[in-house]
Structure 1
């Protein structure tokens, strides 16, 4: 996923030992004034001989630095739309803002993993594979005849073993920490390709965020569709803010437990229960209606069908070719006159009124009636064109068609029409993103079953 910027949950300040150092203070203050972000400030301090000079400090606002965005104007838009200048503070700060998640599954909305950083960057990280948490690191760079071999794909990753923090020397030495990454879009301030990351290492913040997502998802049947996230009358339901709470703290040197106040990132669902239930029911009804009206039950397929490496008989060109040619000569219409069909009612049909003659029918989902041609080659060509229009990869639609209709679906007019109808309906309802997500979810579920 392409991250274009980061919103920090707090600040970093100089350590007490360096707070009175004029050189360190000048570097720190110049970085703040330039808006370069704490990573750049820390790097400048290290070059000046002050290693490990910054420590985190919680504040009741989020930090937005233009230099931490690939497009600095995106940071300026966020502060312009949602920033506040509160009494006694000459700077506009980000205290509260809405977020929209890129997934409907609450389990995929927050990425949490263990990360070990060194001066050169990320050294180790954890990763979930088949229900097991593994420690992933960089492999050795190969050498040939005493010289380093240049790799076209970069340094390969290797599995160090199972990630068990209680047994990990890096974690016990406070070098590896549990970090979470919340990746969102900010409605009204970021565009379709500007994804913002909100990193946090606070267990309590992540627990509250995940709890809010799970509560909303439980009302919506396990997921949070985009129309629910956008809220009642287009008012987003999820809003980030900062709160001060009393939390439990453990001194890992002595094992003593105490309670202390902390400023934590928090997310609220700002919607009435009645409106939430209404949006959830509407979204569920739309998805169910689309499935029942347009698509047959999923055809159970073998693992080979789910593989990207198709046999020659299953090439994409056999299903949705870029250009369509019909074999054999074009049929010649018969010149023999045909008798008109017998009418049960000898009375002629009543002529239509002028209003009826000019009336435009309501848009339907009968693609066969609307399309200029309904032969299999013509339907293939239409489907290929629509997939290009909405951004569906040919391999994706091929695998989806195999799951829904079975192999050989591209040679059948009925299956082609149903896929065309589904795409046309999504375009009429301005829900192309929802259809694409449904297609990818179906493929993923089939892969999970096959594995």
Structure 2
């Protein structure tokens, strides 16, 4: 199983600086294909190079470069085409054999040869922003020019760009920068990302871009694979799936979804997608949209959570009763005031750890306001959680054990829960 990666606010000083954990990528699966334009298709040489490149498993970027080198008059010989399958080519992987392994394991023949229509995926983090990073970005010929980036509190979206390279005192030589180029907020629009007032966005030069990061069961790779998408519909629907599964699994979306080793699946679905044409009218066109499936028995997930909670409560109660009985046996004075097992169990429960003060201190240490944390916990477990050691232990397990390495993700979870509560008036 791949090691799970979680984002964390904890940083360790190093020469290369502190940065959030990143998931290494070892290959790309593409959402579609590219075909020759009508102009390029009229050129026999272009058709030959295209067919040879496809047969050799070359990437479409490589095929396009070969065509433009042979026929300089064709500036953009290839255009994207939306299809029902995913494209897996050897040149998109450091080890080309992995592409064939994926096709051997999961490709199907639905009348157009062996194609990858649907395949299982495992996500390596419980933080959906980590496994589906996305941004608004403007690309130049060789690099990204502008991109969106949220502030640390997640409330403000900035438009970022590369900072000018500094010059030395003579003003003629650039200063050698350690650690790569610096970034800065763009001056336009006060450094804010405001698509409605952004010339690049209005001219379709700036677009939404995202990608899924995942492992594929049965495909041996220490690095994850990625699937790019520019579809708002695909990413928005995936977020809803992530949040639903996370809610049912106590915040977890990583790994197998249940004891039957069920996984997420990536596939495509033909949808009528609405967009605004040049005249401002809403039109609908059919598109194959990436879809994230979670074919899991919801009732089984709920039963698993109930079973886990029951086991934890019973084990904690048994431990506390036994510890209490041991103290009674070790203290002769207690023999003068015998108590029934039931009374002893109640006493142990009331005095059990963790104490509320200790729990709230842990929350505050992770940047969570204690008052907001109590409001969240009241909503999640009921107002009696703080009076019962079992309730406090459940809160402790979630705060310290499950989200101990992902305080930002936990703060996002709390903000989301409280926002829903405020929105519903409850």
Counterpart residue number, 1:59:
83
CA shift at 1:97, angstroms?
A: 0.5
CA shift at 1:437, angstroms?
A: 6.1
Counterpart residue number, 2:210:
180
- Pick which of 154-163 and 439-448 moved more: 439-448
Question: Normalized against structure 1, the TM-score is what?
Answer: 0.62
For residues 131-150 of structure 1, the C-alpha deviation after alignment (integer angstroms, 9 at most, x for no partner) is 11111111112233312332
Which protein shows a greater Rg?
Answer: 1
Q: How does 1:17-416 map to 2 (within 5 A)?
A: 17-48=39-70, 49=72, 50-89=74-113, 92-129=114-151, 130=153, 131-144=155-168, 145=170, 146-160=172-186, 161-191=191-221, 193-221=222-250, 223-226=251-254, 229-236=256-263, 238-251=264-277, 253-281=278-306, 297-298=358-359, 300=361
Counterpart residue number, 2:403:
438
**CA gap 1:54/1:234 in 2 versus in 1, 3 angstroms:** same
User: Which residues of structure 1 form unaligned runs of 5+?
Assistant: 308-425, 427-433
Distance in 2, Cα, partners of 1:225 & 1:244:
26
> What SS does the corresponding residue of 1:77 show, helix, strand or coil?
helix
Distance in 1, Cα, partners of 2:120 & 2:201:
34
Whether the aligned pair in 2 keeps the contact of 1:184 and 1:197 (CA below 8 Å) is: yes
CA shift at 1:64, angstroms?
A: 0.8
Distance in 2, Cα, partners of 1:302 & 1:84:
49
For residues 241-261 of structure 1, the C-alpha deviation after alignment (integer angstroms, 9 at most, x for no partner) is 11212222321x211222221
Question: Normalized against structure 2, the TM-score is what?
Answer: 0.65
Distance in 2, Cα, partners of 1:445 & 1:274:
25
> What SS does the corresponding residue of 1:101 show, helix, strand or coil?
coil
Distance in 2, Cα, partners of 1:94 & 1:270:
18
CA shift at 1:163, angstroms?
A: 0.6
Whether the aligned pair in 2 keeps the contact of 1:306 and 1:447 (CA below 8 Å) is: no
Distance in 2, Cα, partners of 1:301 & 1:435:
8
C-alpha root-mean-square deviation of aligned residues, in Å? Answer: 3.4
Alignment size in residue pairs: 316
CA shift at 1:7, angstroms?
A: 0.9
Distance in 2, Cα, partners of 1:165 & 1:436:
40
**CA gap 1:27/1:289 in 2 versus in 1, 3 angstroms:** farther
**CA gap 1:143/1:188 in 2 versus in 1, 3 angstroms:** same
- Pick which of 3-12 and 209-218 moved more: 209-218
Counterpart residue number, 1:404:
none
For residues 8-46 of structure 1, the C-alpha deviation after alignment (integer angstroms, 9 at most, x for no partner) is 111111222222122332332232222221232333344
**CA gap 1:214/1:29 in 2 versus in 1, 3 angstroms:** same
